[in-house]
Structure 1
Amino acid sequence: MALAEKVLRKINKLGLIPKARRLLPRISFVLALFSIIWLITLPQDGNYRNCYISENALMPAQVNSYFRESEWNIVRGYRDEIHKMENESIETRNKHLKEWLIDLGLQVSSHKNGVANDTLYAIMHASRGENTEAMALVVPWINSDNEYNEGAMALGIALIRYFQRISVWSKNIILVIPPDGEQSLRSWVNAYHTILDDTAGSIEAAIVIEYGKQGDNFEYYDMFYEGLNGQLPNLDLLNTANLISSHEGMSCHMQGISDRAINYENRLKTLFKGILKLALAGSRDVHGHEAFSGWQIQAFTIKAKGTKGPDITQFGRIVDSTFRSVNNLLEKFHQSFFFYLMLSPKHFVSIGTYLPSAVMLAVSYALSALNVILNSGIDINEIPQNITKLLTTATLIELFCLVLAMVIPQLPDDTINIVPTMAQGIFGLFIVRSSKASKTTSFTLIAFALLMIALLITALLIVHFALAFTIGILALPLTFIPLVIEKNRKLAIPCLIVSNPFTIVLIAHSYPEFDDIFLQLVRAWTELQCWTWLVVILGWFSAWLMIAYGAAGIYSSPPTLETKPKDVRETKLEESSI
């Protein structure tokens, strides 16, 4: 107690509280800057970890895979027949495949998803299993490049034929053949866990394969693992597949960067590309593994690229050996990490290492909100008198955003595409013609909105770090508005414009890889249950509207002289004079 009193006296004597109060804007900005610097330093040597297998039972690459050149002609035969079906309807293709799978002795069923064509699936019951656990091999008819998935389909059927000759399986194997890896597969996964009669037990792991028309050989494979709503597969599963491919002499690419070109620059690119891809998972480049998110199923996609190099049977051995490893498990994946950021197929950053960057962002917004209350010149005693109007305004804005979140997905695709452009004019008019709130209410509403973003980042930083970090960085200009609105009001308008989510969408439209990103974001919510759309509208955009409303109220009022907090020495002189 005595030590605390001594510290407090020292703080008061040095005037640290008024100094810290005046430095709040700078501290807030420095914390936001440090959050970015923190991530930039992670790919440096000593800050990341090498990938390893936590679960010893997996034992990857410990057995010899017999899916080799002897299966090559079988794959070719299936591929020739599948090639002839390219121009036929999916119903006709599924009819042929169903006959082949029944001839192999498999239990074949289909699911009508009500949106696209039937999703065909075949169950191979394990000879040593109890029909309680399963693994899924997914082969969509159309891959993520909108290309006929010819090689993968032939490989999938050849693999299930090969699996029947092995008597080691303790888990059932399901071959799933959806029209694509998006809504149709998601519908099948939901139906499998709810309404389907023909099931094979709890699915432990799933692998989606994409192999187009490369022919007999491919150069390398891309691995995709980012699930919906921040979910990631257990790191042991990725490490198992990558270790197997390394033993086979195959090159793996993540985010388009090879595992044979590992340096700081490439690790940094992989890190930030991975964060962006995870933040937008489900809205662009959907490969199929995303459909398994939310059901505790570890899933990833491997995609063959190039035409020269290893043969197609080597690609199949990744699936074979990975399934053999998963087959060894007696329980669900739990040993390794579920929260991580990949720097390469061989390096990763765990949650305890990257989490401080999002924490610093959240604190930055919280300090910015505190700065608005303490340094904006308003009388703090007036805030309780305006609390009813503040809560009413915030509630109305949130209800308006809720209506937008529900109505926009119901619009036709062409209309949804022009919503961001229309929004610029509508919300620009909103800012100009907004009701003239009092200065106290306006600044308090701005502080409340900044605090809301801080709480949003805090709520997401563990379950969806990528989305929390992305929103925190893109909305950062909102923290500058309280600083510029009293000094140079014209600067507040650019800050509002560049921090508007609809502006970000319009800027993204200029890049080919983000074309139709707004439509894809909305459709990801309706088709895949990806709640990024709701977070953006109900969290980021509602906070933006509150700050715009508050800024409009301040903008319409006459400028006032800036009131600086009194220094401790001035306060003592006043007290002594009294």
Structure 2
Amino acid sequence: MAETETETETKSVNSRMRQRPIVRLGFLLISQSVIVSVICCTAGVLALLLLPVLAKNTYISENALMPGSASSMLSHQEILEANKLVRDIASLSSKPSGAAVESRGLIAQYMSDLGAEVNYHKFHLRSNQFHPLHFFSGPGSEAIQDNFSCSLYGVNTVGIVRAPHGDGKEAIVLVTPYDSVRGGVGEALSLGIAYSVFSLLTRVTWLAKDIIWLVADSQYGEYAPVTAWLRDYHTPVFGDLGSLNTEMCDENENIFKLKENSIPERNISYTFRRAGTMAAALVLKVAYRNEHFEDTLSIYAEASNGQMPNLDLINIVNYLGVHRQGLHVKVEKLWSLLESKWLRILGEILESLGKLAKSLNPDWKFGISAPDYVEGTATLASSLYYQALGVPTGPHGAFRDYQVDAITLEISPKYSFNNKDRRNDFLLQGGRLIEGVIRSVNNLLEKFHQSFFLYLLTSPGKFVSVGVYMIAFALLVAPLPLVAASLYAESNDLNPALRKDKKPINSDDLGGLLKSWKWLNSAKRVFVVHLWGAIVSLLPYFISHICDCTPTTNFLIWISLSVLILLILHQILGSSYSHVCEIQSQEGEWALLKSVTISSVFIGLSLMSVINFATAEIGALLIVPTSLLAYPLKLDIKTRSLRSFSRMICNLILGVISFPPATFFLLKGVLDGFEGINAGDFWNWVESLWAWNSATYLYIGMVHLPCWVLCVHILLHSC
């Protein structure tokens, strides 16, 4: 018997001696989790601030695109015809009635005269209200409005040019939103630019892909007509679209049907016509802004849930716009950050460090000027924000739902639209830009795939790839599993830094740790709170149907019901938790709860990073420090030290900032000013998220808010 015990002890010693280095490193990191957390979180924030410095110049990855390699074929003849269309559209807009029908007929006639196949696409609006199951369904799952009327119908005009050397399997889409009721000169100019290119493409011999020109009826918004057309394009429809519900609109039949003698019937029909698989899509808009002193091209690329088109498509537009047409190309930025003093100071510091690095070694390319850093940060913040928001920034977002690369181009001339001498030059400039982009896409033998799909823009010519900006997120979430393991070991008296015998954890201790089931009570509490978060996420669906109130009232009802449901769930499902204090030590109780909470934060952020990386990045900046610093306030008050006082202040500040409504109002005040802010703004913002099926809404309700509640519970723990 004694020999058996001796052999067992010898084997235990040998097993401890044979521990692998990776296991020893893991135990070391767990025992020093506080230091590791401070280092990783600080490095993560610094890495995020250094992204504009680490941005690289954009480049064309696909050699077949060859932007600008061929001379433009667009001549003044096409521009004269386009200018005639603009004048005809403008004259119809001045008529008090019948302009909508006549403008559609006029556009169809111009298309038909070019030999294109023309058809009308009638669509009806679909409800854009919150429904839980829409988050898990594909595009086109919205329900038809129950109380529809003839006034809720629109008619798109579609023209198709068949490629002379193509097989009809691929197509390029050009979209021009046009409000036939309230259309202005800007929309007429966008039609003129599109028509000049469309006219050219009917005569060229190099075209290998079909060209689809969609004149979207934007009287009900720019997104709805594009979505409706794409839904019918990708869904087989049997029957004549021209007879769809027309029996209900006999009194307003002239809204949809044109006069028989107004257009030739040989190439025009109500039957839906298709071309090949879409290789790319361009949405063209023209807007006049007085603040511009040069012709400006704005690019909008963000789609739903942070989806971005292939970077090569943006690179083509940027190259042709700058080097061929002399346009000032820009992307959206947060203008309030351009006046930030602390950002300017940080830029000056980085500029000084860059000069110092260059003096030490001329080959080091770390430098960036302070103005470039400020502007790059403002652009990066805008790109990160709109990706995290999950709401498309233009009609191009409808194409990304069908995995079609698309962007919206908004051209702003420096001269007024009333300057007729400048109009022809503007039409020629815009037409040659669109021609060059279409010609580059036409050269592709396959879909865009060479360049990046996950990236952040710091300017039209600079980007940060996913391999760079994911470092900041990885550093922020890296301490979470270490701290969770350390707290779990601490609650079971297995933390080497806190054990009375100061012995390191061995395999026997680890085996005993894994056999402990004390964490189940904390896991139940965390599960209950996350169940509450799921219920809170569903409440707006019922509130919006039951209560027809103001946004402020809806927001207050939402908060009241959420608090009431949390109390009810605590009493029903969490009542057995009260006897835990009699079994466990008070310190071990909150430590276990914090350990499981941090684990849920890590899992939630990791899952969100797969769906929308920008949302996970911003969420990590808020919830990771809050969860790591969470500590019972009662214990800090008892300690009465500088460290405990500092931690208590940080916990109170982070607890307020990380609360979703408080975060929204704080950011809105910093960016737009605190004047005029009311509680209903948060309801309107959340309503826009669920209306667009943004996954950010699910993250806020089912990950961020429950974790915040658990952190507050730890702060208010009665230990």
| Aligned partner of residue 149 in structure 1, secondary structure | helix
Aligned CA distance change for structure 1 residues 442 and 419 (closer, same or farther; 3 Å): farther
1:23-422 matched pairs, under 5 angstroms: 23-44=32-53, 47-86=54-93, 90=100, 93-107=103-117, 108-115=119-126, 116=152, 117-141=154-178, 149-178=187-216, 179=218, 180-195=221-236, 197-212=272-287, 219-248=295-324, 249-256=326-333, 263-282=372-391, 286-308=393-415, 311-375=426-490, 381=516, 383-384=518-519, 386=521, 389-390=524-525, 393-394=528-529, 396-404=531-539, 406-407=541-542, 415-416=550-551, 419-420=554-555, 422=557
Partner Cα distance (1:271, 1:4) in 2: 50
Partner Cα distance (2:488, 2:111) in 1: 69
Aligned CA distance change for structure 1 residues 486 and 84 (closer, same or farther; 3 Å): farther
Partner Cα distance (2:48, 2:521) in 1: 41
Bigger shift: residues 364-373 or 333-342:
364-373
Letter of the aligned partner of 2:379 in structure 1?
A: T
Partner Cα distance (2:228, 2:590) in 1: 46
Superposition TM-score, scaled by structure 1 size:
0.81
Question: How far apart are 1:390 and its partner, in Å?
Answer: 3.4
Aligned residues: 544
Matched with 1:5 is 17
Letter of the aligned partner of 1:504 in structure 2?
A: T
Deviations along 1:332-353, one digit per CA (max 9) or x if unpaired, are: 1111111222222222222212
Superposition TM-score, scaled by structure 2 size:
0.66
User: Which of 678, 684, 687 in structure 2 is aligned with 1:522?
Assistant: 687
Aligned CA distance change for structure 1 residues 70 and 214 (closer, same or farther; 3 Å): farther
Bigger shift: residues 266-275 or 206-215:
206-215
Report the structure number with the largest CA radius of gyration: 2
Aligned CA distance change for structure 1 residues 408 and 60 (closer, same or farther; 3 Å): farther
Aligned CA distance change for structure 1 residues 214 and 59 (closer, same or farther; 3 Å): same
Deviations along 1:100-140, one digit per CA (max 9) or x if unpaired, are: 32333322231413345233322222121111111111111
Bigger shift: residues 441-450 or 346-355:
441-450
Letter of the aligned partner of 1:474 in structure 2?
A: L
Bigger shift: residues 240-249 or 480-489:
480-489
Bigger shift: residues 376-385 or 221-230:
376-385
| Aligned partner of residue 124 in structure 2, secondary structure | coil
Contact residue 396 and residue 406 of structure 2 kept, 8 A: yes
Partner Cα distance (2:319, 2:289) in 1: 24
Matched with 1:474 is 622
Contact residue 409 and residue 416 of structure 1 kept, 8 A: no
Letter of the aligned partner of 2:474 in structure 1?
A: V
Partner Cα distance (1:10, 1:103) in 2: 74
Question: How far apart are 1:206 and its partner, in Å?
Answer: 0.6
| Aligned partner of residue 475 in structure 1, secondary structure | helix
Aligned CA distance change for structure 1 residues 429 and 371 (closer, same or farther; 3 Å): farther
Deviations along 1:359-396, one digit per CA (max 9) or x if unpaired, are: 12222333444454345689984624526733652463
1:532 aligns with 2:532: no
Bigger shift: residues 301-310 or 169-178:
301-310
Question: How far apart are 1:291 and its partner, in Å?
Answer: 1.3
Matched with 1:555 is 716
Aligned Cα root-mean-square deviation (Å): 4.0
Letter of the aligned partner of 1:501 in structure 2?
A: P
Question: How far apart are 1:539 and its partner, in Å?
Answer: 2.4
Contact residue 522 and residue 533 of structure 1 kept, 8 A: no
| Aligned partner of residue 161 in structure 1, secondary structure | helix
Aligned CA distance change for structure 1 residues 51 and 356 (closer, same or farther; 3 Å): same
Question: How far apart are 1:442 and its partner, in Å?
Answer: 5.7
Bigger shift: residues 218-227 or 85-94:
85-94
Percent identity (aligned) = 22
Contact residue 111 and residue 118 of structure 1 kept, 8 A: yes
Aligned CA distance change for structure 1 residues 468 and 222 (closer, same or farther; 3 Å): same
Letter of the aligned partner of 1:555 in structure 2?
A: L
Bigger shift: residues 288-297 or 175-184:
175-184
Contact residue 48 and residue 348 of structure 1 kept, 8 A: yes
Contact residue 509 and residue 517 of structure 1 kept, 8 A: no
Letter of the aligned partner of 1:157 in structure 2?
A: Y
Contact residue 205 and residue 326 of structure 1 kept, 8 A: yes
Aligned CA distance change for structure 1 residues 447 and 306 (closer, same or farther; 3 Å): farther
Question: How far apart are 1:529 and its partner, in Å?
Answer: 3.9
Bigger shift: residues 21-30 or 128-137:
21-30
Partner Cα distance (1:279, 1:482) in 2: 26
Partner Cα distance (1:442, 1:411) in 2: 40
Partner Cα distance (2:114, 2:463) in 1: 41
Question: How far apart are 1:323 and its partner, in Å?
Answer: 0.5
Partner Cα distance (1:485, 1:118) in 2: 63
Matched with 2:656 is 497
Aligned CA distance change for structure 1 residues 288 and 346 (closer, same or farther; 3 Å): same
Contact residue 234 and residue 298 of structure 1 kept, 8 A: yes
Aligned CA distance change for structure 1 residues 486 and 382 (closer, same or farther; 3 Å): farther
Bigger shift: residues 233-242 or 373-382:
373-382
Partner Cα distance (1:52, 1:429) in 2: 55
Aligned CA distance change for structure 1 residues 114 and 91 (closer, same or farther; 3 Å): farther
Aligned CA distance change for structure 1 residues 162 and 407 (closer, same or farther; 3 Å): farther
Contact residue 306 and residue 387 of structure 2 kept, 8 A: yes
Deviations along 1:537-578, one digit per CA (max 9) or x if unpaired, are: 222223334444x43xx7363x3xxxxxxxxxxxxxxxxxxx
Partner Cα distance (1:431, 1:394) in 2: 8
Contact residue 221 and residue 303 of structure 1 kept, 8 A: yes
Letter of the aligned partner of 2:44 in structure 1?
A: S
**Unpaired stretches in structure 1, ≥5 consecutive residues:** 560-578
Letter of the aligned partner of 1:519 in structure 2?
A: N
Aligned CA distance change for structure 1 residues 474 and 98 (closer, same or farther; 3 Å): farther
| Aligned partner of residue 163 in structure 2, secondary structure | coil
Partner Cα distance (2:610, 2:55) in 1: 19
Contact residue 230 and residue 465 of structure 1 kept, 8 A: yes
Partner Cα distance (2:589, 2:100) in 1: 60
Contact residue 477 and residue 496 of structure 1 kept, 8 A: no
| Aligned partner of residue 168 in structure 1, secondary structure | coil
Deviations along 1:504-536, one digit per CA (max 9) or x if unpaired, are: 23334545499857535534543x443322232
**Unpaired stretches in structure 2, ≥5 consecutive residues:** 1-12, 127-151, 238-271, 339-368, 416-421, 495-512, 579-585, 638-647
Question: How far apart are 1:25 and its partner, in Å?
Answer: 3.8
Aligned CA distance change for structure 1 residues 413 and 96 (closer, same or farther; 3 Å): farther
Partner Cα distance (1:393, 1:269) in 2: 40
Aligned CA distance change for structure 1 residues 472 and 404 (closer, same or farther; 3 Å): farther
